[in-house]
Chain A
Amino acid sequence: MPQTPVIEAKNLDLTFQTNDGPVQALSDISLEIRAGEFVSFIGPSGCGKTTFLRCVAALETPTGGSLSVNGMTPEAARQARAYGYVFQAAGLYPWRTIAGNIRLPLEIMGFSKAEQLSRVDKVLDLVDLTGFGGKYPWQLSGGMQQRASIARALSFDADILLMDEPFGALDEIVRDHLNEELLKLWARTGKTIGFVTHSIPEAVYLSSKIVVMSPRPGRITDVIDNPLPRERPLDIRDTPEFLAVAHRVREGLRAGHAYD
């Protein structure tokens, strides 16, 4: 089977016009993401990692270069509901139960009632929240809320999952747990995942490919194919192989003057 890229960016540029003059958020980004890859974007604030993800989701419009998603323009891909997007905050509606929140995209997309029910059950199980469908968001912990928001993004079964620092606001213990869960979920669903983070261990632990970015202007300084096996227990993070990859990521960040 020929591997056509799911997401393909060529010489992508994005300049924001602000009151302080133009700001180049993305500069000459070229990248291919293939089906089933788990790609992390890492870099300091202002390196354009979130902006790139938003371009893929057609929430921002690039000012130069080309970008295709599933062989379409990002806008067409958005209209075709090609991806699920997970934001940094869970953003659940307080007036809907967990099941109601997960049903939201399904209602918008016009799934039948029976289909909605079965899909909600399925994704609740996928994120390990079975039995919590009837609860309201405020009754759940932050980590559980974020899992519900992942379930919401999975519910309509798009092939691509875009995640913008989904665990950034959670404490490290919950984060470790969710990282492990996410890997299992990726293994079970085979989705193509774009994952923004500023945690080196998180990027190395999760990804099959790590894109290191640096700011002013936002650009790619290194793309690392992660040599770690797909099966990753949490303590793989203490192995020399893991530390070697983490070291290379750190070098990439340093090369981009990201520590300035």
Chain B
Amino acid sequence: MRRVLLPVLSVVAVIVALWYLACVPMNMHTALTEAERAGAVVSPTGAKARRDLSAIGLALRNPAQWADTLTQAKPRLPAPHQVLVELWDTTVNKKITSKRSLVFHGWVTLSATLLGFAIGTLAGIVLAIGIVHSRAMDMSVMPWAIASQTIPILAIAPMIIVVLNSLGVQGLIPKAIISAYLSFFPVVVGMVKGLRSPAGMQLDLLSTYHASRAQVFWLLRLPASVPYLFASLKVGIAASLIGAIVGELPTGAVRGLGARLLSGSYYGQTIQIWSALFATAILAAVLVALIAGVERLTLKRMGMNG
């Protein structure tokens, strides 16, 4: 554990240090303007004179304002501690029913993600079973599945929202469908590979037992595909989350992590954007870790932890 901990913490420390370092030039112009307004002497004087100067040069000439770059209300690049404070503030210090609570928005996005993930996984498995057992489906479905993923989700998401809205469907379902649209694909690809993973010898063996196609599926193909399924699910759940967030953008930014991102960018609330981004990343990491946990338990129960 200790041998893993040290490198992991080192990498985190390097990233945080670089981030702080980047905050100084990124926020320097604003910091100098505000300092000058408050009566401090900065070089060179006058926002106009500084406008075209490089931020790094300015930072080197005004070390006194470095600290100011880390405490602004609307920085170009918020400092790590500002994002952390905002995260803490909007999760722990707000009631979860509050519109300003990230837990509230996170749950809105998570529910769409989970529903979409369930739909996508089910659809992916069913399609994969069809593709493996029917040559016609292999030839006809796979190209469409691939084509579906070449369409930018940002382009198709508003159309799905609008079409479903005109049918009277809104809220959770349209987001879940966009989510499913992204997550079915890795499941199809992984499950097709998994269901086809048994070697010719394994199929020959079942043939010598005169096993039926259904028996080959339940006794050989399905259990052999389990490791592939979990690999796909980990990709799929992350894609589902992205889908749900993208699905929140065209609805006018009312609820959800996507809404927080969008309203943050409307009002220049960079700290809010970054904290929503981090909430998303943390949520994705937790979801993937959950699936990895289920994977470990399942494979262990199946005896495949050799």
The interface of chain A, by Cβ under 8 A from chain B, is: 57-59, 78-79, 81, 83-85, 87, 89, 91, 93-97, 104-105, 107-109, 136-139, 156
Contact at B206–A108, with CB atoms within 8 Å? yes
> Residue B97 at the A interface, CB < 8 A?
no
A59–B204 contact, CB under 8 A?
Answer: yes
In the assembled complex, which residues on chain A have CB atoms less than 8 Å from the CB atom of B209? 81, 104-105, 108-109, 156
Chain B residues contacting A89 (CB-CB under 8 Å) are 201
A226 CB to nearest chain B CB (Å):
27
Interface size on B, residues (CB 8 A): 20
Establish whether residues A87 and B201, one from each chain, have CB atoms under 8 Å apart when the complex forms: yes
A interface majority secondary structure: loop
Q: Do the beta carbons of A107 and B219 come within 8 Å of each other? A: yes
Minimum CB–CB distance for B195 against chain A, Å: 15
Question: Nearest chain B CB to A63's CB is how many angstroms away?
Answer: 19
Given A97-B303, A108-B215: 12 more A-B contacts, CB < 8 Å:
A57-B208, A58-B207, A81-B210, A87-B204, A93-B223, A94-B304, A94-B306, A95-B303, A108-B206, A109-B210, A136-B306, A138-B306
Docked-complex contact B205 and A87, CB < 8 angstroms: yes
In the bound assembly, the distance between CA atoms of A156 and B210 in angstroms comes to: 12
CB distance from B223 to the nearest CB of A (A): 5
Complex-state Cα separation, A109 to B209, whole angstroms: 7
B73 located at the interface, meaning its Cβ lies under 8 Å from any Cβ of chain A in the complex? no
Bound CA–CA A58/B215 (angstroms): 19
Which residue of chain A has its CB nearest to the CB of B202? Answer: A91
Bound complex: CA of A96 vs CA of B219, how far in Å? 10
User: Which of chain B's residues have a CB closer than 8 A to the CB of A137?
Assistant: 306
B254 to chain A, nearest CB (A): 47
Query: B303 near A96 (CB under 8 angstroms)?
Result: yes
A57 — nearest CB in chain B belongs to which residue? B208
Scoring A83, A84, A93, A156 by chain B CB atoms within 10 A of each residue's CB, the highest score goes to A93
- B18 near A: Cβ within 8 Å? no
Closest beta carbon of chain A to B231's beta carbon, Å: 16
List the 4 closest pairs (A to B, CB-CB), nearest first: A138-B306, A95-B302, A136-B303, A85-B208
Within 8 A of A (CB), among B205-249: 205-211, 215, 219-220, 223, 226
Cα-based distance from A57 to B202 in the complex (angstroms): 14
| CB-CB nearest in chain B for A107 | B219
Q: Could you tell me the distance in whole angstroms from the C-beta of B123 to the nearest C-beta in chain A?
A: 25
Query: In the complex, what's the smallest C-beta–C-beta distance from A54 to chain B, in angstroms?
Result: 8
Listed A/B pairs (12) with beta-carbon separation below 8 Å: A79-B210, A81-B209, A81-B210, A85-B208, A87-B204, A89-B201, A91-B201, A91-B202, A93-B220, A93-B223, A94-B304, A108-B215
Residues on B with beta carbons closer than 8 Å to the beta carbon of A91: 199, 201-202, 205
Closest to B203 in A: A59
Taking CB as reference atom, which chain A residue is nearest B220?
A93
Q: Are A78 and B205 in contact (CB under 8 A)?
A: no
Minimal Cβ-Cβ distance residue in A for B207: A59
**In the bound complex, how far is the Cα of B208 from the Cα of A87, in angstroms?**
11
Residues on A with C-beta less than 8 A from B204 are 59, 85, 87
- Give bound CA distance, A77 to B110, whole Å: 57
